[in-house]
Amino acid sequence: ARTRGLRFGSATAWSAPGADRGGIGNPRYTALLERDCGILVAENEMKWQRLRPTPATFDFERADAIVALAKAKGMAMRGHTLLWHQTKWMPRWEATHDFGPRPATAGAAMLTQHIQTVIARYAPQVASWDVVNEAVNPNGSGLYETALSRAIGGAEPTLDLAFRTARAAAPGAQLVYNDYMSWEPGNDAHRAGVLKLLEGFRKRGTPVDALGLQSHLVTQGTAGGIAGQQAEWRRFLDAVTGMGYKLVVTEFDVRDNRLPADPAIRDRGVADYARAYLDVTLSYRQLRDVLAWGLSDRYSWIEGFEPRGDKARRRPTLYDRDFRPKPLYGAVAAALTAA
Ligand code: G3I
């Protein structure tokens, strides 16, 4: 990556010292991070759910520990996320919070105080922020609303306020809208919704620098439709970059669906599928950073989220359960080298 002026990185969780987890307390895991990564992102520890136990308090302990590790090892950081714009991903208290007699003022104050406080703590180490995460309903019905956005007066002004506040607090940082609209069939409405949101940001002069492509890929079983998917994806990325946005691959991994259980066959299918995606995506000069959402199959979130029907263990990341590099590692390296 470095020889191409690119940067590779990964998410990491916090974990207790010695725990067998995909986090900073596990030396077998941090060895992978140190070996491969120029940039880290906290998988969960900078979310409202973790930072805001109550409306009046912050708990920075675990996020601090991740940032300290990055600093000690000379790695940059991305920040994820200043606003995950869905009630189910906000702290539980958010849904029923009483914003008082002047909800617009109180809601705006809560959002701006949160963003200013988090940015002040982690600047300048965090050079790129997922200011807003997943605000677009993938079914095409528009933007989500939360208790906070209803108080402020709607999703649009809420997202705009988030970006404006972030720009003022971190003038030099890259500000990202991050979402999981992907290249697979069935994502048309989601991609259209994201384009509409990005157009709106430009019309209103909202300071957004880049689109975060989460890149949670899902193999489709055959290579048959891959050229069509690539063409579709190019159309989308052309539209995004045509509006002047940069791109970041923020959460790369591959859900190994519709592939045989045999690990060798599955790993090959995953690697080829990912290479086809990365070749298109990395052909855009607007893209410099590629971050994986964890580095070992042993700890990937996907196992818990969607286990395979045949009970075979998921193999979504670059390293297997025993920390050995898989064909996906080679595919990512080759795509970076070819970029
Ligand atoms: O740590 C607690 C544990 O103490 C408790 O016993 C257990 C019971 O539910 O929960 C544990 O916390 C879980 C946490 O992951 C750590 O494993 C949360 O419930 C669970 O909701 C959380 O899931 C995370 C999810 O975001 C929601 O925040 C995943 O780890 C994380 O990989 C996932 O990441 C998201 C990105 O932020 C946004 N894009 C999609 C991506 C994948 O869903």
Which residue type, as a one-letter code, is found at position 199?
E
Centre of ligand 1 from the C-alpha of residue 304, in Å? 9
Average pLDDT over residues 159-176: 98
Centre of ligand 1 from the C-alpha of residue 171, in Å? 30
Which residue's C-alpha comes closest to atom 21 of ligand 1? 89
Q: Cis before residue 138, ω within 30 degrees of 0?
A: no
Three-state secondary-structure class, residue 9? strand
- DSSP H helical segments within the chain, as ranges? 27-36, 48-51, 61-72, 103-122, 147-152, 155-169, 188-204, 226-242, 263-282, 302-305, 327-338
Ligand 1 atom nearest 47 alpha carbon: 28
Nearest partner of 226 among 290, 187, 266, 272, judged by Cα: 272
Nearest partner of 329 among 10, 28, 22, 41, judged by Cα: 10
Q: What is the pLDDT of residues 66-118, one digit of tens each?
A: 999 999 999 999 999 999 999 999 999 999 999 999 999 999 999 999 999 99
Are 178 and 250 spatial neighbours (Cβ–Cβ below 8 Å)? yes
Whether 324 shows a pLDDT value over 90: the answer reads yes
| Per-residue confidence (pLDDT) for residue 124, from 0 to 100 | 86
Q: What is the pLDDT of residues 222-268, one digit of tens each?
A: 766 899 999 999 999 999 999 999 999 999 999 999 999 999 999 99
Which residue's C-alpha comes closest to atom 11 of ligand 1? 44
Using most ligand atoms within 8 A of CB, pick from 41, 88, 301, 314 the residue to mutate for ligand 1: 301
Residue showing tokens 């991305």: 78
Residue showing tokens 């998917």: 229
| Per-residue confidence (pLDDT) for residue 161, from 0 to 100 | 99
Which residue's C-alpha comes closest to atom 26 of ligand 1? 44
Are 42 and 75 spatial neighbours (Cβ–Cβ below 8 Å)? no
Centre of ligand 1 from the C-alpha of residue 145, in Å? 21
Centre of ligand 1 from the C-alpha of residue 94, in Å? 18
Residue showing tokens 């906000």: 90
Q: How far is CA 216 from CA 24, 36, 254, 270, in A?
A: 23, 20, 6, 12
Q: Structure pTM?
A: 0.98
Average pLDDT over residues 16-29: 98
Ligand 1 atom nearest 81 alpha carbon: 37
Contacts of 306 (CB under 8 A, 6+ apart): 255
Ligand 1 atom nearest 133 alpha carbon: 38
Nearest partner of 257 among 178, 189, 186, judged by Cα: 186
Q: What is the number of other CB atoms lying within 10 angstroms of the CB of residue 52?
A: 20
Mean pLDDT (the chain) is 97
Ligand 1 atom nearest 80 alpha carbon: 37
Q: What is the pLDDT of residues 110-150, one digit of tens each?
A: 999 999 999 999 998 999 999 999 999 999 999 999 999 99
| Per-residue confidence (pLDDT) for residue 223, from 0 to 100 | 62
| Per-residue confidence (pLDDT) for residue 221, from 0 to 100 | 82
Which residue's C-alpha comes closest to atom 22 of ligand 1? 44
Which residue's C-alpha comes closest to atom 16 of ligand 1? 44
Using most ligand atoms within 8 A of CB, pick from 12, 41, 44, 61 the residue to mutate for ligand 1: 44
CATH for the stretch 2-338: 3.20.20.80
| Per-residue confidence (pLDDT) for residue 280, from 0 to 100 | 98
Centre of ligand 1 from the C-alpha of residue 49, in Å? 10
Structural domain spans, the chain: 2-338
Residues with active-site annotation: 134, 251
ipTM of the complex: 0.95
Regarding beta strands 39-42 and 142-143, do their DSSP bridges make them parallel or antiparallel, or are they unpaired?
unpaired
Average pLDDT over residues 308-312: 94
Which residue type, as a one-letter code, is found at position 68?
A
Percent of the chain with pLDDT over 90: 98
